[in-house]
Amino acid sequence: MSEAYVVGHITVKRPEQWDEYRARVPATLAPWGAELVFRGQQRPALAGELSHPDIVVIRFPSLDAVNGWFASAAYQALIPLRQQAAEVVLLSYEA
C-alpha cells in the first residue's frame, strides 16, 4: 500500500477562527491513522509564485484513508468553519 498526503495551501482571513479550526482538526485525523508532517509559512520563493503563503502537509496510510477522512462526518462538520476562517486549496497525493 502506498502512503498518501494531503497538502493544503492556505491564506488565513480570520485568525481566531483559524486557530479554532486548527485545534479541532487533529481529532478528525486520528481515526484514519494520519499524522501532521509539518505546517509552515512561505519565505521568498526560489522559483515561481504561489498565491497562498501558508502550507500544511498531512500523511495518511493510504488514499482510501484520505478520502475516508475528507468524507467523514467529523471533518465535514469543520468545513464551514474552515471556509469562514481561510482560503484553502486541499490537494491529495499518492507516494
Condensed to tens digits (0 to 9), the pLDDT of residues 20-62 reads 999 999 999 999 999 999 999 999 889 998 899 999 999 999 9
pTM of whole model > 0.75?
A: yes
CATH architecture of the region 4-41+52-94: 2-Layer Sandwich (3.30)
CB atoms within 10 A of CB 82: 21
Q: Residue 59 carries which side chain, given as an amino acid letter?
A: R
| Rounded Cα–Cα distance for residues 41 and 82 (Å) | 18
Q: What are the two backbone dihedrals, phi and then psi, of residue 45, each rounded to the nearest 5 degrees?
A: -65, 140
Per-residue pLDDT at 20: 98
Spans of all domains in the chain: 4-41+52-94
> What pLDDT digit, counting tens, does each position of 79-89 carry?
999 999 999 99
What average pLDDT does the segment 9-14 reach?
A: 98
Distances (CA, A) of 60 to 16, 74, 75, 83, 89: 27, 16, 15, 23, 18
Specify the residue for cell string 488514499: 63
Per-residue pLDDT at 1: 64
